[in-house]
């Protein structure tokens, strides 16, 4: 008997936004790994999928440091990878769950790049936060000859400005950390009517701003904050 690893995207937050395939698979796992941002903290990804997990399943919440300490991160990722490999080698059916889609800005890729060749791996895609935000705000991502860029604040102001000028639509992930800069840029380009901001989409803490100018100066926006700009769609 050989084990198998399933990487499962949980989608943005609501439990019923996972795929039917993911829900069915989770009922039959031996072990489910879930990343937690804080040591001893609860895993958001786990809370999303908990209702689908079978009663026979062992749950392993593992801490993934969000720090800028590269060595600490590498060690944490390697330790989880080793543990997963050992479980699969022992013949277990193992799932690793992660928010949104596992192939886009996801902890899963830090595991994937460390896995040895020859393991049986299946990846189940998930709904991205920006697909949900487009749906909630009724603002298309792209049509016909339009193009869409997806990036996070970490690219820096210049690349962000260039992307806003060259493409019809922009999705900016983790937007809280550069909000003053990006707000100024969007206003400068005359795009305030074309931008929306959503935090924690489909979680109980969800917040929406249809106009970036309505965000109070002292507002502390959470980590999962996304801005969507579609330069050809101001109707809301």
Q: Which of 71, 144, 158, 218 binds a copy of itself (CB under 8 A)?
A: 144
Total residues interacting with a copy of itself, rule: CB under 8 A: 57
- C-alpha torsion sign, points 7, 10, 130, 180: negative
- C-alpha–C-alpha distance, residues 68 and 66, integer Å: 7
C-alpha Rg value of the chain to the nearest Å: 19
Q: Nearest distance from residue 211's CB to a copy of itself, in Å?
A: 18
- C-alpha–C-alpha distance, residues 67 and 65, integer Å: 5
Query: Which residues from 158-217 bind a copy of itself, rule CB under 8 A?
Result: 159, 162-163, 166-167
Q: Nearest distance from residue 85's CB to a copy of itself, in Å?
A: 16
Q: Is 113 in the site for a copy of itself (CB under 8 A)?
A: yes
Per CB under 8 A, the segment of 10-18, 76-84, 176-184, 190-198 that binds a copy of itself is: 10-18
- C-alpha–C-alpha distance, residues 24 and 19, integer Å: 9
Given the rule CB under 8 A, which residues bind a copy of itself? 7, 9, 11, 14-21, 23-24, 101-106, 109, 112-113, 121, 123-128, 131-132, 134-136, 138-152, 154-155, 159, 162-163, 166-167, 235
């Amino acid at each position: 008997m050989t084990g198998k690893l399933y990487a499962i995207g949980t989608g943005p937050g609501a439990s019923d936004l996972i795929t039917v395939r993911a829900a069915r698979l989770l009922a039959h796992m031996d072990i489910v790994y879930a990343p937690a941002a804080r040591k001893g903290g609860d895993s958001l990804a786990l809370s999303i999928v908990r209702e689908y997990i079978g009663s026979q399943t062992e749950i392993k919440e593992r801490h993934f440091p969000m720090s800028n300490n590269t060595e600490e991160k590498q060690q944490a990722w390697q330790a989880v990878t080793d543990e997963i490999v050992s479980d699969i080698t022992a013949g277990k059916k193992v799932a690793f769950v992660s928010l949104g889609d596992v192939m886009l800005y996801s902890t899963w890729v830090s595991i994937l790049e460390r896995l040895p060749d020859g393991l049986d791996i299946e990846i189940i895609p998930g709904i991205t936060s920006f697909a949900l935000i487009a749906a909630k705000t009724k603002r298309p991502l792209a049509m016909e000859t339009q193009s869409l860029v997806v990036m996070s604040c970490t690219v820096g102001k210049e690349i962000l400005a260039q992307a806003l000028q060259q493409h019809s639509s922009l999705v900016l992930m983790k937007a809280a950390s550069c909000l003053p800069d990006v707000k100024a840029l969007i206003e400068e380009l005359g795009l305030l009517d074309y931008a929306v901001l959503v935090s924690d989409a489909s979680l109980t803490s969800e917040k929406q701003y249809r106009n970036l100018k309505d965000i109070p100066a002292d507002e502390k926006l959470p980590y999962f904050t996304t801005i969507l700009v579609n330069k050809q769609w101001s109707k809301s």
